[in-house]
Structure 1
């Protein structure tokens, strides 16, 4: 009887346990909505990046006798009481297609959780229909190829505690902006927006999100100062701000109550010293501050962080350390990842590193490590990733390298390694990546040898002294993902590439490849190639030239510095960086260029392209950052289509035949940093309306037909960051604009990083690599008497060139306040008056040209204080008195002072205090006029007899005029103000 009761109780319990599951039969209209959603997509596992864990979950969504309950379908979760669909997880589900606001997905209004991560939604926008899902607390749309502006009505999802839109590098958050998102979604516990274009500062209100546990904002274009209070939030466990190069900040003091477990500030502009209190973060297991600007010493308190698994201190400005001061490293027995790059260690690595027996990743690049590859490394048998790049390692690659049997990634580029590749290298059967670029390795390398490394997919041999033999290779050569074969003495395209259909990265630059790009290369990995570099060869064209190149996934295409002829090859719409500069391309730009909506960089300079610039130039890509079409034959007007979505940082159209006006729509390009329009035929007044552009650093308008008085424009001329301005060889007139000089505050900043360059960055999220391309700005400007091309522009370079115009009046004294100036050229104008002594305050000045004006008075003695002055020219003026002596002035020669008849002292032949003055030369007075007559002749004519009285005077005076200059003026009744000089 007891057993019967026990059995009954079990049956009763079982009944109550399974009852909810039986009742959770999904609602018919929601089942229908799910099926419609399924049917709107193509199943393609390449949409999930061929992730081995990806599979099509929706294939289980079928209506039949056994399976009509959608609550049992894969990825579907229902409420046990209401049977409503409350959760949908279709991550990694091989979905390909677009979502719009009419999608049946938005009929599932009871959803609490939605995960569509790791699919491919064909660069459609996140639909506005998302606002129908007001119950959502969890939303994950990461890495799913969404495009465009995040819809404003996402702010209505006020219950969200988890939001992940990361990995969509074509998404942007501008309207609404980042601040609006934080103001509305105040319940957030996890916010992941990595790779979304925020392009903003971090609002201080973020420090009010007390529930925040995880914040991931990598590669978002963040700038400004990061609020320190965010890193001190009481519940914060994960903070990732990596790859935001313009984001500043510091590491604050911490206390023992902090729950921080992971802090990633890599590739930001965080600076300052690390506090000793960082050692109180006892829960910390991950710290990555690589490639920042931290300074001072590395705190010894790191020894207290006994849970550290990942520690990367690489690429900072820490003081030099000897290895003995870092002995705490040997006590970090849990470390799995350790990076110490960029610290000047100057010596051989000590053996206590061998205590890191769990280390799988060891990064010691850029450390000035000397000697050979240390033999004790061979005892670190757990090593999977070894990076000793950018050091001073010498000798050969040791044969004992074969002992690292687990090694999958070996990075040894940019050392002084020499000799041939050892046979033992080919015994590393787990090796997947091998980088030996930029060494002195030599000998003949047969490509067939690498077929022994069955898993090898990344190979970089560029910039050595090897000669690569790629003929007659094994037919079973593995499929490569990355091939870096630059400077490998190749004379033709390696034929084995015909069988490569998985390449992502191909670099064949700096070889001796001649002739045409073969048709078969266009079919090589045409569905996978994303980086192609064929620059610096002798290629003259394509064997077959399609309207659009067939590499459908290409992100970077570099065809620079070849001999390409014919029309411009246009890449696929996926392109982000395209350079075909320095070739012989002709014809017009194809209208296909307007379809490149992801393009960030376009460099077609130094070709023979012509025609009218495409009207779409200003608006076909909201991603467009750099455009260089200089040194071509374009004519007509500059397109006026720059919209408010303009993201241009640099626009170069110099050395063409463009005319008309500067398009006013450029004022929409609020991020513009360089505008170079020199050497065209532009006829316009000074574009003072560019003044409010807060980021503009370089403005070059020289050699055009600009005109007007600059002093007419006194409003909106702030140019707050302007550091280089070149208005030379135009027709500007009137007084020099003192108010402009007063407003140019960036020209007063002398404490700027002397080694920093003007640049921008373009981020790529491309398997098998994430890539940040560092794009240096360039320009040409006349400096020290020569036109110089600057492939890189230092942030500290400050220059003003207003030469060869029609400016008049005095030089404003306020120029002396621009104490960061390195170049000042006011030559070939009609300036008069004294040289201001305030110019002696320009202590950084390297070049000063005031020649070919009407300046008078003495050269200020204060200029002798300019210790960096290398070029000084005041020739062809009316200067008098002694030439300053000392410092740089002892190095200037006669031509710095020529044709100033009143100057005396070295290096001139006239001594100060002497009444002797040499006769003026013919080059000084081409024309002498009386103000009241048409009396004119050249100095040469006078010597030939037109004025006999003067000729007699020359004979009697033993060929030397012993009278002062004023005597000459009196004889010929010429007023000093009417003496004209050759402009030469």
Structure 2
């Protein structure tokens, strides 16, 4: 065995036996015995004795040397007494180490140094070095100074880390290198191109960076290459993808760019280039690729028309081209030339797919997957009626109109697992009652159509059901009680009514998302409807629910969002939700919640992760409940993923013949919240968004200085209460604040100069208070308009026309009268009607597709039950 292989073995050995086990302290007899037996397997030549540090001389059981922890070169654990380290370097040890060495009985060994000795005839096998599938195993690869007979190196699914040493190129006998799913980083060394005997190279699921070395094109024996899910950049070397023996190529989930041309290969069976940044084209030369079965180019930036060379791949079975920039008009008959094709996905491009009526008769193959999303279709393709083995059908984002054809009820009834008809013009179903026939269906998406009639009932196998943004009416059918495996139920934005079925508790522990937003549901929430603890997002907003909240909500320990806004709930503030560790969003706005919000002194649970709390437009009273935020965990923006939205993944995978097909349709939470005096619809809400809205209640007293502890808050609205006293200068500590509304209170004194420090502040409203003195000048204050300060007759300075030279003199009767008239005019007019395209302008870009809801529109006033400016909402 070569020294480099021995060195590698030693490093692996050190990592493999790094775990310790509890045992009594002091040196153990089995450790002492193993060390003494190891000592007896070596000898030291007489002529070298004076040059050696013969540490093994102290290894004896005589006299006071019986404790092996006192022997030279031996290190023991202070608590257990087990041997954890050996340093026998420069000990002139002559002999061999083989697989039966007593060294391997030191099962707690963490550090081993045998450098500068003379080991020979070591017989540790070199056929294979395999320590894979040990997730707790750590280590790194040493330098390989000399060649080694090592043929197989298997480290997959361990915690090995560091860079691959350039000296790996010395392992010239290596044929199988399997280090996927580790923690390796750095660049892939070009010296790997020296491993000309290599047949299998698997480097996936690491953190490699940089380009793929061109030298890998020297690996003429390579048949299996996998470098997916890393961070590789640059173009794919031409010689690499055209290696003569290459049969499996997977470079997916990287940052690779440019174009690729396959020219000289005949053995390729599977090509995975998906989820990169390839711009194309990807072409195939005039060779006989009879073995190619799978071609996956999905999720790239390939533009232009689909290459005709693809239609020459006669034995192709799987073709994924979705989410690229392919354009033009394409005839479906072109794909029918591929007689063995049974999985085809061209979704998410800029294609217009033409399907002839004769296609249904011309095709003989039976498809299992069809993806025709965004293909400019106007009807469900007729040839699908003859397909009885479909597992996955995606016809979303087209212009399919009318009713779902009746023949679909007889198509793939036992095999279909995914059906996506969302974002079309569908009006309804021909079958009544609507009970879907597909017994294996798991994912059903009918969102954003024009569906009318009663709510259809999915099969009991369904895991994810989306049917929001339609025009459905009626109650939730009792048959929904049979959906015991349901994980996501999205019925939002319909005209559904009635009360919730009491059998909702049949959902058990599987349900994670329940969205009933913007319907006409009424009645109370059944007290026993929550049985499990998997619920993460509950959205009941914009309905007519009444009564008290079920206390069983406190058992939903995984809950992230609870949105009950715009209903008629009548209850005290739910302090009992304060112990939920994951709750980020609590929306109670526009209900009949009432009573004081002072937390009792014995109250220990204070919403540890709350980010958005909206209790506006209720009947709360008393002092501001700032104790709720004593555990406020506001983080710096740079510490968070700015583009992460509050969502719940509904991804699941169905097995293809070659790999798993992912269905990624994440549910994204949306909400309505007041900002800049307008009701704003947040289509998506970023995780970093932090907002507090206590407006339009009956809070009294002063705003305490402790409000300055709410660091990280971006929106703070305390308007339309009865707050008194001064504006606390500690508000200047809220450096992330972007909108501050203190209007319609009884605040007095001057506006603190410290507010000038709020450099992110885009909106300020302190109107209709009794503030005095000069308005601070500079920075953001130079951007605010008169309306920010109206209704404060004793304020002066820009942007008001009143100057501050005679600030000690009382204002004239005319100015007071004018201010009163302005205030009365504003009260009568209400909030301004704001156009849909109003620019919101948050610094962190909290939402995509912001929609500002005009407050004066009668229909919206009724739907959202918005309280008019300046007064409390009447109670029925």
Structure 2 length normalisation: TM-score?
Answer: 0.71
Structure 1 residues 889, 764: CA separation in 2 closer, same or farther (over 3 Å shift)?
A: same
CA deviation after TM superposition for structure 1 residue 401, in Å: 7.6
CA deviation after TM superposition for structure 1 residue 494, in Å: 0.8
Looking at structure 2, the residues matched to 939 and 606 of structure 1 have their Cα atoms a distance apart, in angstroms, of 33
Looking at structure 2, the residues matched to 401 and 890 of structure 1 have their Cα atoms a distance apart, in angstroms, of 69
Structure 1 residues 301, 752: CA separation in 2 closer, same or farther (over 3 Å shift)?
A: farther
* 1:804 pairs with one of 696, 709, 723: 696
Aligned pairs for 1:633-648 within 5 A? 633-643=520-530, 645-648=532-535
CA contact (8 A) 1:277 1:301 kept: no
Looking at structure 1, the residues matched to 716 and 769 of structure 2 have their Cα atoms a distance apart, in angstroms, of 17
Looking at structure 2, the residues matched to 407 and 532 of structure 1 have their Cα atoms a distance apart, in angstroms, of 28
Looking at structure 1, the residues matched to 345 and 454 of structure 2 have their Cα atoms a distance apart, in angstroms, of 32
Confirm whether residue 513 of structure 1 aligns to residue 405 of structure 2. no
The residue aligned with 1:68 is: none
Looking at structure 2, the residues matched to 413 and 938 of structure 1 have their Cα atoms a distance apart, in angstroms, of 59
Looking at structure 2, the residues matched to 744 and 792 of structure 1 have their Cα atoms a distance apart, in angstroms, of 23
* 1:499 pairs with one of 386, 392, 401: 386
Once the two structures are superposed, residues 424-465 of structure 1 have per-residue CA deviations (whole angstroms, 9 ceiling, x without a partner) of 322212312212223343333222222221221111112333
Once the two structures are superposed, residues 861-914 of structure 1 have per-residue CA deviations (whole angstroms, 9 ceiling, x without a partner) of 222222222222211122222322333222222222222223222222222333
Confirm whether residue 681 of structure 1 aligns to residue 573 of structure 2. no
Confirm whether residue 443 of structure 1 aligns to residue 335 of structure 2. no
CA contact (8 A) 2:297 2:321 kept: yes
CA contact (8 A) 1:618 1:640 kept: no
Confirm whether residue 896 of structure 1 aligns to residue 788 of structure 2. yes
The residue aligned with 2:618 is: 730
CA deviation after TM superposition for structure 1 residue 621, in Å: 3.1
* 2:154 pairs with one of 261, 270, 275: 261
SS of the equivalent of 2:666 reads: strand
Looking at structure 2, the residues matched to 914 and 356 of structure 1 have their Cα atoms a distance apart, in angstroms, of 88
Looking at structure 2, the residues matched to 645 and 280 of structure 1 have their Cα atoms a distance apart, in angstroms, of 55
* 1:665 pairs with one of 552, 555, 558: 552
Once the two structures are superposed, residues 315-349 of structure 1 have per-residue CA deviations (whole angstroms, 9 ceiling, x without a partner) of 96x76x3566x86797797572323556373x533
Aligned pairs for 1:542-557 within 5 A? 542-557=429-444
The residue aligned with 2:666 is: 775
Looking at structure 1, the residues matched to 722 and 711 of structure 2 have their Cα atoms a distance apart, in angstroms, of 25
SS of the equivalent of 1:468 reads: strand
Looking at structure 2, the residues matched to 540 and 809 of structure 1 have their Cα atoms a distance apart, in angstroms, of 55
The residue aligned with 2:71 is: none
Aligned pairs for 1:706-785 within 5 A? 706-714=593-601, 715-746=603-634, 751-762=639-650, 764-768=652-656, 769=660, 771=662, 773=664, 775-780=666-671, 781-785=673-677
CA contact (8 A) 2:163 2:185 kept: no
Looking at structure 1, the residues matched to 282 and 193 of structure 2 have their Cα atoms a distance apart, in angstroms, of 37
Looking at structure 1, the residues matched to 187 and 274 of structure 2 have their Cα atoms a distance apart, in angstroms, of 22
The residue aligned with 2:864 is: none
* 1:374 pairs with one of 247, 251, 260: 260
Once the two structures are superposed, residues 611-643 of structure 1 have per-residue CA deviations (whole angstroms, 9 ceiling, x without a partner) of 111112244232100000110000100121245
SS of the equivalent of 1:379 reads: coil
Looking at structure 1, the residues matched to 744 and 308 of structure 2 have their Cα atoms a distance apart, in angstroms, of 70
CA deviation after TM superposition for structure 1 residue 573, in Å: 0.3
The residue aligned with 1:420 is: 305
Structure 1 residues 527, 323: CA separation in 2 closer, same or farther (over 3 Å shift)?
A: closer
Structure 1 residues 387, 879: CA separation in 2 closer, same or farther (over 3 Å shift)?
A: farther
Once the two structures are superposed, residues 535-593 of structure 1 have per-residue CA deviations (whole angstroms, 9 ceiling, x without a partner) of 11111111113452101100000001111111111111000000110111001001111
SS of the equivalent of 1:862 reads: helix
Looking at structure 2, the residues matched to 679 and 350 of structure 1 have their Cα atoms a distance apart, in angstroms, of 59
Looking at structure 1, the residues matched to 321 and 697 of structure 2 have their Cα atoms a distance apart, in angstroms, of 54
Once the two structures are superposed, residues 705-728 of structure 1 have per-residue CA deviations (whole angstroms, 9 ceiling, x without a partner) of 001111144514321111111111
SS of the equivalent of 1:374 reads: strand
Once the two structures are superposed, residues 937-967 of structure 1 have per-residue CA deviations (whole angstroms, 9 ceiling, x without a partner) of 9999xxxxxxxxxxxxxxxxxxxxxxxxxxx
Looking at structure 1, the residues matched to 298 and 284 of structure 2 have their Cα atoms a distance apart, in angstroms, of 18
CA deviation after TM superposition for structure 1 residue 802, in Å: 1.0
SS of the equivalent of 1:789 reads: strand
The residue aligned with 2:13 is: none
How many pairs align? 681
The residue aligned with 1:336 is: 224
The residue aligned with 2:38 is: none
Structure 1 residues 786, 421: CA separation in 2 closer, same or farther (over 3 Å shift)?
A: same
Confirm whether residue 432 of structure 1 aligns to residue 320 of structure 2. no
Looking at structure 2, the residues matched to 676 and 444 of structure 1 have their Cα atoms a distance apart, in angstroms, of 45
Confirm whether residue 863 of structure 1 aligns to residue 755 of structure 2. yes
SS of the equivalent of 1:568 reads: coil
* 2:592 pairs with one of 705, 729, 735: 705
The residue aligned with 2:470 is: 583
The residue aligned with 2:132 is: 237
Structure 1 length normalisation: TM-score?
Answer: 0.63
SS of the equivalent of 2:674 reads: strand
CA contact (8 A) 2:260 2:281 kept: no
CA contact (8 A) 1:750 1:796 kept: no
Confirm whether residue 480 of structure 1 aligns to residue 387 of structure 2. no
* 1:836 pairs with one of 701, 718, 728: 728
Looking at structure 1, the residues matched to 413 and 492 of structure 2 have their Cα atoms a distance apart, in angstroms, of 27
Once the two structures are superposed, residues 786-842 of structure 1 have per-residue CA deviations (whole angstroms, 9 ceiling, x without a partner) of 333333322211111111111111223223222221111111111122222222222
CA contact (8 A) 1:518 1:544 kept: no
SS of the equivalent of 1:275 reads: strand
Looking at structure 2, the residues matched to 939 and 343 of structure 1 have their Cα atoms a distance apart, in angstroms, of 57
Confirm whether residue 624 of structure 1 aligns to residue 503 of structure 2. no
Confirm whether residue 615 of structure 1 aligns to residue 502 of structure 2. yes
Structure 1 residues 586, 938: CA separation in 2 closer, same or farther (over 3 Å shift)?
A: closer
CA contact (8 A) 1:748 1:818 kept: no
SS of the equivalent of 1:602 reads: strand
RMSD: 3.8
* 1:523 pairs with one of 399, 410, 416: 410
Q: Which moved more, 1:707-716 or 1:584-593?
A: 707-716
Structure 1 residues 463, 749: CA separation in 2 closer, same or farther (over 3 Å shift)?
A: closer
Q: Which has the bigger relative contact order, CA under 8 A and spacing at least 6?
A: 2
CA contact (8 A) 2:739 2:762 kept: yes
Once the two structures are superposed, residues 397-428 of structure 1 have per-residue CA deviations (whole angstroms, 9 ceiling, x without a partner) of 53528654432222223444344334332221
CA contact (8 A) 1:829 1:853 kept: yes
* 1:792 pairs with one of 684, 702, 708: 684
The residue aligned with 2:96 is: none
Looking at structure 1, the residues matched to 709 and 393 of structure 2 have their Cα atoms a distance apart, in angstroms, of 51
Structure 1 residues 299, 887: CA separation in 2 closer, same or farther (over 3 Å shift)?
A: farther
Structure 1 residues 704, 352: CA separation in 2 closer, same or farther (over 3 Å shift)?
A: same
The residue aligned with 2:376 is: 489
Confirm whether residue 880 of structure 1 aligns to residue 772 of structure 2. yes
The residue aligned with 2:490 is: 603
The residue aligned with 1:826 is: 718
Looking at structure 2, the residues matched to 492 and 922 of structure 1 have their Cα atoms a distance apart, in angstroms, of 66
CA deviation after TM superposition for structure 1 residue 493, in Å: 1.1
SS of the equivalent of 1:592 reads: helix
CA contact (8 A) 1:389 1:415 kept: yes
The residue aligned with 2:742 is: 850
CA contact (8 A) 2:193 2:217 kept: no
SS of the equivalent of 1:532 reads: strand
